[in-house]
Amino acid sequence: MTALITLLVLLGNPASTPTPSPDVATEVSRLEGHDVVIAADGRSYAIRNVANEGKPLVGVVELRGTQLWLRSGGKRYRLTGPLAIPRIAGPRYKVWVLGALNGDVLHARRLGILAPPRR
Q: What is the pLDDT of residue 15?
A: 55
- The model's pTM is 0.83
Q: What is the pLDDT of residue 13?
A: 52
- Domain 57-115 sits in CATH at 2.40.50.140
**Three-state SS string across 35-98, please?**
EEEECCCCCCEEEEECCCCCCCEEEEEEEECCEEEEEECCEEEEEECCCCCCCCCCCCCEEEEE
Q: Give 29-52 pLDDT, tens digit per residue.
A: 999 889 999 999 999 999 999 989
Q: Where are the domains of the chain?
A: 2-49, 57-115
